[in-house]
Structure 1
Amino acid sequence: PQMLDAMSDSTNSSTTANDLDLIYLKGIMESPLVWYTHTNESLKEPRLSPVRENNVELLQEILRDLDPFTHHSNTVAELTSILTQPHFQSLLETHDSVASQACDSPPPSPCDFVDHEPEGAQKHNLHPPPDAIRMVGIRKVAGEHLGVTFKVDGGELTIARILHGGMIDQQGLLHVGDIIKEVNGREVGQDPRVLQEELQAASGSVVLKILPSYHEAIPPRQVFFKCHYDYDPANDNLIPCKEAGLRFETGDILQIVNQDDVNWWQEWNGKGDGGSAGLIPSQMLEEKRKAFVKRDVELAPAGNLCTGVGGKKKKKMMYVTTKNAEFDRHEILLYEEVAKVPPFKRKTLILIGAQGVGRRRLKNKLLLRDPLLFGTTIPYTSRKPKKEDRESRMYAFTSRSKMETDIKNGRFLEHGEYDGNLYGIKIDSIHEVVEAGRICILDTNPQSLKVLRTSEFLPYVVFLQSPDFEVLKAMNHSAAEAGVVTKTLTDEELQRTCDESSKIQADYGHYFDLSIINDNLDETYRTVKAALETVSKNPQWVPVTWVF
């Protein structure tokens, strides 16, 4: 304060010092940080030193001096009684013991057991001192899973993970990294599976002797994933504990409560009361496994089992847009982060399917039955209009140069060239239908799903799956007789449709909201209408990118 007053006087009077420098210095001195530092230093307690280290001997001398007077004075007798109590004598013994050690620094805190060496420096395995050993008691019934797994680290059996919601997690007595020394007075070995089996078979009181890790646990971020493959822990040879694994199927919503382990995530199934989390493969682990397994559609026919046994060289190629479909085939999407949102109306309805499976017929049926609910785009073309085009309004006509410029600027969802003319669907035309209050129906190529499956278009994707070959053949024959189609497809063309349908499902199945075997057009129409009505009235799970 005195220094601040002096600087205030200096700034108010004429001085040779630079006024700006004085103002700057005054600002620093008035800073809350400076005041805090000054206050902290003034409040620091000076290091205390003992007055003497032999208080026990002093007490004995005092008692000897008081002994002649204890029978003549009640006050002396009461004082003698207090000084001879065990608690008081123990207090003096403890004081003398601490004073005689004259510690220069306080004993290390639990946080000092954590290695704080800089990144890149040689790390040392710092264990807590022997006096930090704790005894933890647990009561359980035989066969009850504790919700904990173990691993060998530095020659010691340590806790690898604690399953969310399990017995150990609820009690909070053990932590990841704790070293298990003994179980019920018996030393543990170095086999995690043996210890796991012993603990699961134990019943009644189980006493664990542990060395705490003192690692501060960070609360995990809970996320939801939609899974795009089937998993059964009973068939997994890599899982640390099959009993801790959780089974799921394609399309299930998984609540992930812990992703600390690079290979195994903890998933909360939410079924029943008092349940615990289970283990599922992480994205990284499952990607590694899937990378070594050929897709079913790429495997050789069953009658030619020896084909492809010999190794093939990797196909090295840079990404180019013309090969986009090739790269899509090798994309591995196992988990997709999703969020639950209130009901809302989808902006677009995307119909995906192989050529000849009936997408166009379903689209026309939806447009004719519900013209106020559904709409569609008018494709653009660079060809010159014909007389009949003026009345049908089947195309929007533009110049080739204008269309090429728009394609280059990314204003077309998809485009192609036929008979020397360009054709395509403009993105602006999709927005026009949506702004008119209708759901825009699009029957596009599956490659366009990467563009459409965003918050801009909010699509509902329906995959029209091809029926079996014989059913598809009968449907085509009936449609030709009824005049719905003008051409009866050959067996080769029908088989090509079935194969293409399987390939689309294998490559793009993770994008589909609904898959329908289109063997009855009326039934397919009712199913699509019911699905759209359901998502508009009930909460939905959508990609998290649509929300955040």
Structure 2
Amino acid sequence: MPALATGAGHEPGLYELLAALPSQLQPHVSSPEDNTFLQDMFGERSLHSLIKIHERLQHYEETKPVPVLDNAASLAHNLCEELEGRPGSGEIRELLKLLSKPHVKSLLTIHDMVALKSYDPELPPLPDDLDDDEDSVKIIRLVKNKEPLGATIMRDDHTGAILVARIMRGGAADRSGLIHAGDELKEVNGIPTDDKKPEEIIRILAQSQGAITFKVVPGTKAETPTKEPKVFVKALFDYDPKEDSAIPCKEAGLAFKKGSILHIMSQDDATWWQAKIEGDASPRAGLVPSKQFQERRFAMRRPVATLQFHRASSKRSSGFRRSFRLSRRDKKKTNKSMYESKKSEMYDMADVPTYEEVTQYRRPSGAKHRLVVLIGPTGVGLAEMKRKLLICDPQHFGVPIPHTSRPKKSQESDGVEYHFISKSLFEADIHNNKFIEYGEYKGNYYGTSLDSLRSVVSKNKVCLFDVQPHVIKHLRTAEFKPFVVFVKPPSVERLRDTRKNAKILTGKDDKGSTKLFTEEDFEEMVITAQSMESQYGHLFEKVIVNDDLTAAFGELRLALKKIEAETHWVPVSWTHS
């Protein structure tokens, strides 16, 4: 670019460079649109004004200006007092009116502060009535806006002193670095705390805005700053601190929903962790029950919940969807479950869902696909969704082929409908834990093996697998990384409207008979879905209401595309070797 012509003996200023840029760049611009864009951008009046201001400030900085005076505010005050007693002309009245305006007074005060370089905050004087043994008292002034202070307090049971119980990470108190856990609070805004309850002091702090002055005696315990590793957990339950009678300070609590990702900021307290909801703009952490504390609380309630669940299960044992469906007549003949798991549902019930440590994961290019597990009650439409996925992209989706010990029929092929094996071999595989689920029906075994899942995944396909919900936990491994989709029905009223003429499979085998849905089927479907969600909802990553099959299928297809291409949260154990 050719040099700019400038006045003799001086370098071009930034404003001159800006004014000359469009013409200098024009030979290098290929399109009229780009030329118009550059002209508009460099010709913007606000940009020119900013450059001029910059150059003026730069000029004053280079000349190292000194203030003419540093008492403009007091001079203006004295002038107003002098003029007040004189007969006023129009000019004097206008000047007095101008100098009395708050923003002019503030401007003159700021002028004097800059002239005197008085930038440090002015602390209040120390109280005159300090005892000789109170030489360690600190006077602290914090500026609090609308956000909470970020500290909790308590009364010492032995001394009666008001102590700072904890400092919330990222809050105003934490950012100041002046107040620490263990400090004794003596006064707040000049109000003694000796005769105050912690609740009264909290109200004083909550009602205070702007600068708050504290008189504190530093705690004797020296704090050593610790850099805690970043820990993220997925919440497996809903929490509202306003409804928690055990929390030390409801205002300091953090509410969250099941599925929320929490960034654990501090685990110093064994009972109350400090956490933020990931993605929340607020820097301040809030109190949440620790994993151990919440597990104890849930465990105390569990016996009642377990009893209620098993009472309900005994009334509607046929409600849980089976991978191989049984007719009501068949179910009445046998009290055996179609499928048994290696561990019972009671074992699942013993697990207390609180938090699960998670990390971000994105499927590497060429890596195996995650197993897709579909859960839902009988008649909700799982088979139709699987069928539509297989039809729309048979090269991308696949289903495991089950095993059976029954004889092969004439029209069947081994490895197509089933893997046909002997009863003794099936029993040996059961003994060797090769089946993720299995059961016996009319003297024959049926089941799905782990190897049949691996076979689909090894072909670089997405394996679709629908099971009973209590089987999910046995699939949640680093090998399969299951994406669990719960398909639930709409209300009974909507089921009546949308499934008037729909049919439900009643036979067990591939050519089973069908019948129209009954009112009992609808009610059972909804009740079973509620029970599934209540007991296993913390394991579901996606919930789809199948009100309309086309819409539900579209929602499922979109969710499956996202887990293949986007970053999402998975258990830490799935990414660690």
Does 1:331 pair with 2:331? Answer: no
- Residue type of the partner of 1:193? E
Alignment check: 8 A CA contact 2:380 2:489 kept: yes
Deviation of 1:371 (Å): 0.4
Whole-angstrom distance in 2 between the partners of 1:347 and 1:216: 44
| Equivalences for residues 63-462 of structure 1 within 5 A | 133-141=136-144, 145-153=148-156, 154-155=158-159, 156-183=161-188, 187-189=192-194, 191-202=197-208, 203-212=210-219, 213-269=221-277, 275-290=283-298, 291-292=300-301, 298=308, 324-329=344-349, 331-344=351-364, 346-390=369-413, 393-462=416-485
Deviation of 1:501 (Å): 1.3
Alignment check: 8 A CA contact 1:466 1:472 kept: yes
Give the secondary-structure state (helix, strand or coil) at the position aligned to 1:524.
Answer: helix
Give the secondary-structure state (helix, strand or coil) at the position aligned to 2:428.
Answer: helix
With normalisation by structure 1, the TM-score equals: 0.67
| Equivalences for residues 453-532 of structure 1 within 5 A | 453-480=476-503, 486-532=514-560
Deviation of 1:251 (Å): 1.7
Deviation of 1:263 (Å): 2.8
Does 1:544 pair with 2:564? Answer: no
Give the secondary-structure state (helix, strand or coil) at the position aligned to 2:502.
Answer: helix
Alignment check: 8 A CA contact 2:503 2:515 kept: yes
- Residue type of the partner of 2:443? G
- Residue type of the partner of 1:191? K
Deviation of 1:476 (Å): 4.2
Between 260-269 and 527-536, the greater mean CA deviation after superposition: 260-269
Deviation of 1:472 (Å): 2.8
RMSD: 3.2
Give the secondary-structure state (helix, strand or coil) at the position aligned to 1:151.
Answer: strand
Classify 1:407/1:391 alpha carbon distance in 2 versus 1 (closer, same or farther; 3 Å).
closer
Classify 1:132/1:410 alpha carbon distance in 2 versus 1 (closer, same or farther; 3 Å).
farther
Instruction: Give percent identity, aligned residues only.
Output: 35
Deviation of 1:443 (Å): 1.1
- Residue type of the partner of 1:420? G
- Residue type of the partner of 1:280? V
Unaligned regions of 5+ residues in structure 2, if any? Answer: 1-131, 313-339, 506-510
Unaligned regions of 5+ residues in structure 1, if any? Answer: 1-128, 302-319
Match of 2:7 in 1: none
- Residue type of the partner of 1:149? T
Deviation of 1:391 (Å): 7.9
Alignment check: 8 A CA contact 2:144 2:172 kept: no
Whole-angstrom distance in 2 between the partners of 1:251 and 1:152: 36
Alignment check: 8 A CA contact 2:262 2:278 kept: no
Whole-angstrom distance in 1 between the partners of 2:439 and 2:202: 62
Deviations 1:217-255 (A, max 9, x none): 433343112122222333333333332222222222111
Give the secondary-structure state (helix, strand or coil) at the position aligned to 2:406.
Answer: coil
Deviation of 1:133 (Å): 1.9
Alignment check: 8 A CA contact 1:132 1:211 kept: no
Alignment check: 8 A CA contact 2:138 2:218 kept: no
Whole-angstrom distance in 1 between the partners of 2:341 and 2:555: 36
Classify 1:226/1:273 alpha carbon distance in 2 versus 1 (closer, same or farther; 3 Å).
closer
- Aligned residues between the structures: 402
Classify 1:500/1:175 alpha carbon distance in 2 versus 1 (closer, same or farther; 3 Å).
same
With normalisation by structure 2, the TM-score equals: 0.63
Alignment check: 8 A CA contact 1:297 1:503 kept: no
Whole-angstrom distance in 2 between the partners of 1:161 and 1:372: 57
- Greater CA radius of gyration, 1 or 2? 1
Deviation of 1:340 (Å): 1.1
